[in-house]
Structure 1
Amino acid sequence: MRELHLNERYACNKCPFKTRCKKPLTKHIKENHSDGQWYECEHCPFRTKYKTSLVSHLRMKHLNDEKIKWYECEKCPYKVKQKSYLKKHIISIHLNEEELKWYECKECPYKGKFETSLRKHVNRIHRNQQDGKWHKCEKCAFKTRLKSNLEKHINCFHLNEKVVKRHECNECPFRSMHKLFLERHMTAVHGIELL
């Protein structure tokens, strides 16, 4: 990997691929230029260089409901295929206020159950508050109050379409570039709330 100092871009030394973020470059090199082993799905064209990704793909896309290891809530009928979703469910629905670890804003009374919720709050409410201007992506529905976040978004997701991460529904073929759209889909279509 070679690092270009102009605009903090990372460039592949084997092809024209460039990105501002290091993680997509590492993934690109592993998937396109390494001699490492490919893990291929026996049921569809999916393939990956990550064994854990294949295992996750098989569990989410090809196991029938009887064979899937479901993570079930002990306090209600909620069940899910991923353990992390169950943990978020329990924190959101079943823990009382005394049991929660709260993430508190230093600038206002806001407190959230998740660190990511606090981070989103701070970015939405307290950053660039003086001008209240939104910076919108011209290629998709992404918007942010921070111009630097928009630049990062464009460089990570639109610089090379192969880099775009797709958020996929575990219940049907729906997929989206945006996690928020997947969350809305899951709630509206399947009655499942992702946290």
Structure 2
Amino acid sequence: MVLSTVLNPSRSAPTSSGAFKCDVCGHTYKHSRSLRKHERFECGKEPQFVCVYCPYKAKLRGNLRKHIMVKHREEWTSGAAKIYVQKTKKKAPGEIPSRFRCDTCGKSYKLKSSIREHKKYECMKEPQFGCPACPYRAKLKGNLKKHMLSKHCLGIDKYFS
């Protein structure tokens, strides 16, 4: 038995062939770090990264980048759009494992700093950043930037200095 398995029984020991096998889905990996990455980001998770050119979805940002470079090289190299990773649906407040809940609107956060930022800039505030290309408005400048990149393939720097 491998020492790391003795010290941490939740870690999988290599199989007889030397591969590391996921206890949940059975995928095997050559290195234990690959198995740990799989367990943390892939196994049992929904794809959260969406291709802007087709319906492809990926569980890892790097896999989406590879997909775009292979399947959409012409669109990407023409400069028509930048690679932008868009997360799929946000979780409902009750689904987020959190310790900090806003007493005004009920949104939940994992970090105390996040709830402070929410109360200062977002909660019960009107959106103050307007998209120059459509009616979209955002409460945070960063959210407007994400919107402009994903919907209009434009950088915010062009409009705001």
TM-score of the superposition, structure 1-length normalised?
0.23
Higher relative contact order (CA 8 A, sep 6+): 1
Q: Whose radius of gyration is greater, 1 or 2? A: 2
